[in-house]
Amino acid sequence: MNGRKRATIHDVARAAQVSRQTVSNALNNPGRVHPDTLTKVLDAVQRLGYQPSSAAQGLRHQRAGAVGIELDPLGESPADIAYPFLVELSLAGPDHGCQLVTFASRERFADLDGYESMVRRRLVDAFVIADTHHGDPRPGWLLRSGVPFAAFGRLYDDPEVTTWADVDGSAGTSSAVDHLLDRGYSRIGYLGWPAGSEVGAERRRGWAEAVERRGVEVAPEGAARQNLPEAEEAAETLLDAVGRGGAVVCASDVLALGVYLAAVRRGWVPGRDLGITGFDGTATARMHGLTSLAQPLAEIARYCLTVVQDLLAGAPPPRAGALFTPTLIPGPSTGTNEEGTG
């Protein structure tokens, strides 16, 4: 290549004016491709000097019957859902002809050694990745290597890639505002994460748009990291502005717990003097009676494994990513003990 960047499957697809999946089919299942299209792809492969990853090629011919998923030992994910999601993937695995293989790194996305090792040793056929973000190196490497994957979280750096599932955070916080107003609370404030979180921005947007849609007086908002002491501190100022009879929509259950503790310290009764909603439907919410928005983790796990299963069978990727609506689970923090129905 004389020092030039190695050609990727993306380059071939662009040169031949076809999808990445068509390139993959042309190289691995040529009988699936129209003869004229096959000629275009093979011409582009030869012209660009494209060489598929030998590790990925090996995976196609020697299935491991397993899907890899990286664990986060540092606990830096923005929501406490990593373990429940892993459980749902493990439960869904047998129905999708696979088992889960976990691995971890002591550094947060510092490199791709874990993924490369799993592929090189042929321990997995594909991956499910979670906690996606801008600058995430994993999707690009997996695409370049030709390794099938599905993501729990949008692929922000490549909107053309559709093998993802995510929760509609905006729809969730919007439904929380409606729930609080229907329960009789007046001003609806918001406690979110600091700027820079794509997930946080979407959840804030749902609150802001719903408040405007319902014609509610402009309410205050605050921000805190996913940290209980910081959430309590931010809640103090927020509660001064919202006042008794108001409510706070929170971007997570941890932030909602901070608001709850700040209210109790004032002698306020959550659910009577102040409405509080969280997000993620975690054990934290259940333990403290917080109304929360539960993520449909079982559905998302099944969807991700179905995508992986289809890709391994040579099917094209989905036409678009999949958004799942969270379910509002009412609790004492909004003055109800009802079971949630969404």
Residue type at position 192: G
Nearest to 40 by CA among 7, 5, 14, 10: 14
pLDDT computed for residue 326 by the predictor: 98
As given in the structure block, the two tokens for residue 303 are: 């969807």
Q: Quote the percentage of the chain above a pLDDT of 70.
A: 89
Whether 89 has a pLDDT exceeding 50, the answer reads: yes
Other CB atoms closer than 10 Å to residue 80's CB: what's the count?
18
Instruction: Please give the residue that has the higher pLDDT: either 1 or 177.
Output: 177
Whether 38 has a pLDDT exceeding 90, the answer reads: no
Tell me, yes or no, if the pTM score tops 0.85. no
Whether 123 has a pLDDT exceeding 50, the answer reads: yes
**Residues 154-166: what's their mean pLDDT?**
92
Q: Name the β-bridge partners of 293.
A: 328
What are the phi and psi torsion angles at 42 (to 5°)? Answer: -65, -35
Q: Quote the percentage of the chain above a pLDDT of 90.
A: 58
Does domain 9-52 match CATH 3.90.1150.10? no
pLDDT computed for residue 226 by the predictor: 92
As given in the structure block, the two tokens for residue 243 are: 């006042």
pLDDT computed for residue 90 by the predictor: 94
pLDDT computed for residue 119 by the predictor: 85
Q: Residue 290: which residues within 8 A CB-CB, separation 6 or more?
A: 253, 256, 257, 260, 276, 277, 278, 284, 331, 333
pLDDT in tens, 272-316: 999 999 999 999 999 999 999 999 999 999 999 999 999 988 888
Residue ranges covered by each domain of the chain:
9-52, 62-166+297-325, 169-295+328-334
Please indicate whether the domains covering 9-52 and 62-166+297-325 agree at the CATH topology level. Answer: no
- Class level of CATH domain 169-295+328-334: alpha beta
Which fold is adopted by the domain 62-166+297-325? Rossmann fold (3.40.50)
As given in the structure block, the two tokens for residue 174 are: 């919007």
Give the pLDDT band (50/70/90) at residue 339. Answer: very low
As given in the structure block, the two tokens for residue 154 are: 């949008």
Region of 258 (left: φ > 0; alpha: ψ -120 to 50; beta: rest) is alpha
Beta strands in 92-212 (DSSP E): 99-104, 126-130, 149-152, 164-167, 188-192
- For residue 335, how far is the Cα from the chain centroid? 30
Nearest to 311 by CA among 161, 152, 139, 148: 148
Alpha carbon distance 94, 67 (integer Å): 11
pLDDT in tens, 230-281: 999 999 999 999 999 999 999 999 999 999 999 999 999 999 999 999 999 9
pLDDT computed for residue 206 by the predictor: 97
Alpha carbon distance 2, 6 (integer Å): 10
pLDDT computed for residue 168 by the predictor: 97
Whether 73 has a pLDDT exceeding 80, the answer reads: no
As given in the structure block, the two tokens for residue 23 are: 């390139």
